[in-house]
Amino acid sequence: MAKKIFLLDTNVLIYDASAIYNFGDHTVAIPLVALEELDAIKGESSERGQAARAIVRELDSLRNQGSLQDGVPLEEGGVVKIVFLPRNELPTTPLFLDVADNEIILTALGLMKKGLDVTFITKDLNARVKADAIGVSTQDYSKDAVPREHIYKGWRAIDVSSNELKKAKAENLQGFVDDHMEEDDSNIPPLVPNEFVLLKSQHADWNSRLFRYQGNKKFKEVHAPSLQWPIAPKNPQQLMTLDLLFDPDVTLVSLIGPAGTGKTFLALLSGLQQVINDEYRRVLATRPVVPLGPDIGYLPGDIQEKLRGWMQPMYDNIDILAHSASIGHHMEQVHENARAGQRERYKHPFKKGAPRTDKEKASPFISLDQLITSGKVSLEAITYMRGRSIPFQYILIDEVQNLTPHEVKTLVSRAGEGTKLILAGDPFQIDSPYLDVSTNGLVVTTNKFIGQPVFGAVFLETSERSELSRLAGELL
């Protein structure tokens, strides 16, 4: 039986520098033009540049073991070789050679014309369409891909009667859960550590109780944590999120869900409270720079000024916290003065002629810029996190759906002793052209960590931003 040839596009090598080792005992072919593209990318300071340098180093080490033109044998039984299309053997096609993707596709077509079984592997949708149009077999590179229906939610809901809801206790919940799982004909996977069980009344969804599985048939009932701001979880998934975020034994948390569900807000709220209480040295927040292009260097100002526009969502969430704190502070003053017999004045607290005192004007919360100056919060570019060890910090990485699994691995491996790391993002809203809901770093990492005692995840379903936001997510 003839072995297959898998021709890899440049984007596959960037996505996974170890891709050449993932095709078993078949031949992995790398087009010469892909090396030219890697050469142009390797000078970048981005994760893309790092990936390009990694694959070039790997190929150089293989070159020392044999001829890449003839093919270098791999331990798995396969072969890696560099291929090119001689100009005098160009097949007649409507594709123009001045486009690198077209030259790679024509290289695959040229190998096919020699009678070889070739499959073009690329993460570029348009390249797959063009390859298919001229008769080249093509596939996505889907190593570690997670089917949409298998994305880990981190919780399961069970409808029970009101009487059962009252009787449920952490001590007897295992048998209770087993009984209800047996009643379902579907193939339900067993509970894993830090997975939540939401018991809901059959006749009133709002009437529910929440438990977290701790392993070894042990559960704990989950209650809202004590917060320093007048804020409370608005739905069971937000309660689950806070429970994981405030648990020091859970050092990696994935927060998955659409815009407006509270992922970033809750992560920042939890981090700031724990940093203020000296449980961590500081909050380190970062996010991919996908919307701004490959680098932030063209923006004016120093590093913090460059990051200001890029990290604006962090500022927005801190402003919400500050606003909540101010309202809570004001309401405390209202009640204090009401108890002191000054009710009349506070019917219209901001009415002209009723000026507030300095104590009433004072806010119990400082701005994000002040938090940064004091060292409690650090906003950093992902590029500068590589190669570091970061101990005793609360790290929030937002928009993780725009990172590859390799990039997430690089970031998670930066966590030092006593560090907690939060991955947040919406896998259904991806800006990177070579990632999708099944292959992005957030979903892949989440599913690989299922069952680890240090890991927990929550899929947040309900948008709490506004009715308009909810409708936009559903309709647009």
> What is the rounded distance in angstroms from the CA atom of residue 23 to the CA atom of residue 4?
9
Strands of 236-373 (E only): list them: 252-256, 283-286
pLDDT of 186 over the 50 cut: yes
Please give the pLDDT value at position 475. Answer: 72
10 Å Cβ neighbour count for 92? 5
> What is the rounded distance in angstroms from the CA atom of residue 103 to the CA atom of residue 84?
9
Q: What is the mean pLDDT of residues 378-393?
A: 78
Question: Lowest mean pLDDT: which of 5-19, 373-387, 425-439?
Answer: 373-387
Domains 5-139 and 149-241 in one fold: no
pLDDT digits 0-9 by tens, 82-125: 998 776 666 667 777 778 899 999 999 989 988 899 999 999 99
162 or 250, which is more confident: 250
Type of residue found at 157 = A
Of the CATH numbers 1.10.1450, 3.30.70, 3.40.50, 3.90.930, which one belongs to the domain with range 266-335+365-475?
Answer: 3.40.50
Please give the pLDDT value at position 157. Answer: 92
- What CATH class has 149-241? mainly beta
Confidence class for position 161, pLDDT limits 50, 70, 90? confident
Tokens of 305: 């000024």
Give the residue extent of every domain in the chain: 5-139, 149-241, 266-335+365-475
Alpha-helix runs per DSSP H in 186-235 = none
Please give the pLDDT value at position 17. Answer: 85
CATH number for the domain whose boundaries are 5-139: 3.40.50.1010
Residue 8 burial (C-beta neighbours within 10 Å; 0-12, 13-18, 19+): buried
